[in-house]
Amino acid sequence: MLIKSTKRSDESENQVTDETVFNSRRDVLKKLGFLGAGSLLGGSALANPLDWFKDERPPKFVQSELSFNVDTSTKQTLTPESQAINYNNFYEFGTSKSDPAKHAQSFKVNPWKLEVEGLVENPLTLDYDDLLTKFPLEERIYRLRCVEAWSMVIPWIGFSLSRLLKQAKPLSSAKYVAFETVYDPKQMRGQRSRFLGGGVDYPYIEGLRLDEAMHPLALMTVGMYGKTLPPQNGAPVRLTVPWKYGFKSIKSLVKIKLVDKMPPTSWNILIPSEYGFYANVNPKVAHPRWSQARERRIVGASVLDQKRIDTKMFNGYEEVTSLYTGMDLARYY
Ligand SMILES: Nc1nc2c(c(=O)[nH]1)N[C@H]1C(S)=C(S)[C@@H](COP(=O)(O)O)O[C@H]1N2
Ligand SMILES: [Mo]
């Protein structure tokens, strides 16, 4: 059963729904008979991503349609899909915005292995199919605000990271979560030289405090615009943390490790004065080289089709405020 969003008007910028709303929506869908056991993913919708090997045309990444619970509560102008998949940051495939779409098309996402390990009672290994079928998928329309001051509104598809962590059962000694992108220089040209990869020391690593990671907004993302992720957006699985700058939303994950100390993170290692561990969107804290007070929302079919708007604290996701009670967010940037 394929369920798709249709209504997306642009009147207002509502909050994205929280998990409670999604759960009640799921109940409604269940009552309507959309969500019987095992029906979240139609088997026939899962095309084989390796099919292009049999094709005579040059390798082109094939996406599959996904089934998901729809986010109908959010009314925002979506960024056109053509922008979201052609204007990217994914330094493993090059440093310019057009590089990932150009150089990631033959990236292999199946087979895949994601390990959840470290300070957990129940370590997990998920393969490609697990990522798409183990957890009910939900569509979440999230704004993603890049530290470079552009932003997009994207209909992501995935499941809360908290669901995965709960299944792994963090030990009481676990205080942080460390994330790691795949390291595969044969496939990722940016990992072959410091020049091509923008100076990042690969693999790309990120981290969250455990309570941040458990917040229902933190999304394990496997799709966008109704389909599995294209490689330039982090296939087969990435994180989307909408209240933080885009660089926290680490792509093409192979490892999630529960740890007791604040883990190192790629951008913080590279330029600690500019990129902190927290990286919460904050219009009042300027980047040392530019203001963060405003942003360019990419809304049209051309990158130049932009709307200049004020940036909101936590990118507008105020429900995370209590995570930072008593913290000086200018100091912990
Ligand atoms: N592994 C990895 N993850 C990454 C990046 C990267 O270079 N490598 N770039 C980050 C940055 S800076 C941004 S803004 C977002 C962009 O996500 P998008 O291209 O899907 O919009 O991905 C983030 N995740
Ligand atoms: Mo970014």
Domain holding 297: CATH number? 3.90.420.10
CB of 204 within 6 A of ligand 1: the answer is yes
Above 60 in pLDDT, residue 205?
A: yes
Q: CA-CA distance, 286 to 155, in Å (whole number)?
A: 28
Residue 39 falls inside a structural domain: yes
Q: Which ligand 1 atom minimizes the distance to the CA of 200?
A: 7
Contact between residue 188 and residue 93 where contact means Cβ atoms under 8 Å apart: yes
Residue 66 falls inside a structural domain: yes
Residue 250 falls inside a structural domain: yes
Residue 332 falls inside a structural domain: no
Residue 206 falls inside a structural domain: yes
Mutate to test the pocket of ligand 1, among 81, 89, 239 (most ligand atoms within 8 A of CB): 89
pTM for the model: 0.84
Residue 6 falls inside a structural domain: no
CB of 250 within 6 A of ligand 1: the answer is yes
Give the up-direction half-sphere exposure of residue 170: CA atoms within 13 A in the CB hemisphere. 23
- pLDDT for 52-94, tens place per residue? 334 344 457 899 999 998 877 667 889 999 999 999 999 999 9
Residue 305 falls inside a structural domain: yes
- For residue 222, the CA-to-ligand 1 centroid distance in Å is 14
Cβ burial, residue 287 (10 Å; 0-12/13-18/19+): middle
CB of 22 within 6 A of ligand 1: the answer is no
Give the pLDDT of residue 36: 34
Strand-pairing partners, residue 138, are 69, 158
- pLDDT for 100-121, tens place per residue? 999 999 999 999 999 999 999 9
> For residue 120, what are the domain limits?
13-324
Highest mean pLDDT among 4-8, 23-27, 39-43, 194-198: 194-198
Residue 329 falls inside a structural domain: no
Query: Number of structural domains, the chain?
Result: 1
DSSP 157-180: EEEEHHHHHHHH-B-TT--EEEEE
